[in-house]
Amino acid sequence: MKRSDYEKSVRRLEEIVEQLESGHLSLDEAMKLYDEGTRLTAGCYEVLKKAEQKITNIAELKETEEA
Protein backbone atom coordinates (compact mmCIF):
# COMPACT_ATOMS: atom_id res chain seq x y z
CA MET A 1 0.00 0.00 0.00
CA LYS A 2 1.43 3.37 -1.01
CA ARG A 3 1.31 6.44 1.20
CA SER A 4 -1.52 7.94 -0.84
CA ASP A 5 -3.44 4.67 -0.54
CA TYR A 6 -2.83 4.70 3.21
CA GLU A 7 -4.19 8.24 3.47
CA LYS A 8 -7.24 7.31 1.36
CA SER A 9 -7.85 4.33 3.61
CA VAL A 10 -7.69 6.49 6.73
CA ARG A 11 -10.15 8.98 5.22
CA ARG A 12 -12.48 6.13 4.25
CA LEU A 13 -12.24 4.72 7.77
CA GLU A 14 -13.24 8.12 9.15
CA GLU A 15 -16.26 8.11 6.83
CA ILE A 16 -17.21 4.61 7.92
CA VAL A 17 -17.00 5.53 11.60
CA GLU A 18 -19.22 8.58 11.02
CA GLN A 19 -21.78 6.46 9.18
CA LEU A 20 -21.78 3.76 11.84
CA GLU A 21 -22.08 6.31 14.63
CA SER A 22 -25.00 8.02 12.90
CA GLY A 23 -27.29 5.12 13.74
CA HIS A 24 -29.15 5.54 10.44
CA LEU A 25 -28.03 2.28 8.84
CA SER A 26 -29.74 -1.03 8.52
CA LEU A 27 -28.03 -3.97 10.17
CA ASP A 28 -26.96 -5.25 6.74
CA GLU A 29 -25.45 -1.89 5.77
CA ALA A 30 -23.67 -1.61 9.12
CA MET A 31 -22.23 -5.11 8.78
CA LYS A 32 -20.92 -4.35 5.28
CA LEU A 33 -19.29 -1.14 6.48
CA TYR A 34 -17.84 -2.90 9.51
CA ASP A 35 -16.32 -5.55 7.24
CA GLU A 36 -14.85 -2.90 4.94
CA GLY A 37 -13.47 -1.03 7.93
CA THR A 38 -11.87 -4.18 9.30
CA ARG A 39 -10.10 -4.81 5.98
CA LEU A 40 -8.94 -1.19 5.73
CA THR A 41 -7.68 -1.26 9.32
CA ALA A 42 -5.64 -4.40 8.64
CA GLY A 43 -4.05 -2.78 5.58
CA CYS A 44 -3.21 0.39 7.49
CA TYR A 45 -1.75 -1.65 10.34
CA GLU A 46 0.60 -3.41 7.92
CA VAL A 47 1.82 -0.08 6.53
CA LEU A 48 2.48 1.24 10.03
CA LYS A 49 4.19 -1.99 11.05
CA LYS A 50 6.55 -1.75 8.05
CA ALA A 51 7.28 1.90 8.79
CA GLU A 52 8.05 1.08 12.42
CA GLN A 53 10.44 -1.67 11.32
CA LYS A 54 12.24 0.74 8.96
CA ILE A 55 12.65 3.24 11.78
CA THR A 56 13.97 0.53 14.08
CA ASN A 57 16.46 -0.59 11.42
CA ILE A 58 17.68 2.96 10.87
CA ALA A 59 18.07 3.55 14.60
CA GLU A 60 20.01 0.30 15.00
CA LEU A 61 22.24 1.16 12.05
CA LYS A 62 22.95 4.58 13.53
CA GLU A 63 23.83 3.02 16.90
CA THR A 64 26.17 0.58 15.15
CA GLU A 65 27.89 3.37 13.23
CA GLU A 66 28.34 5.43 16.39
CA ALA A 67 29.87 2.54 18.32
Summarised one tens digit per residue, pLDDT across range 9-37 is: 999 999 999 999 999 999 999 999 999 99
Integer Cα distance of 23 and 31 in angstroms: 12
Global pTM value:
0.80
Confidence label for 7 from pLDDT (cuts 50, 70 and 90): very high
Which pLDDT score is estimated for 64?
87
DSSP state of 26: -
Q: What percent of the chain has pLDDT over 90?
A: 85
Q: Which residues contact 13 (CB under 8 A, 6 or more apart)?
A: 37, 40, 41, 44
- Radius of gyration in angstroms for the set of CA atoms belonging to the chain, rounded to a whole number: 18
Integer Cα distance of 46 and 10 in angstroms: 13
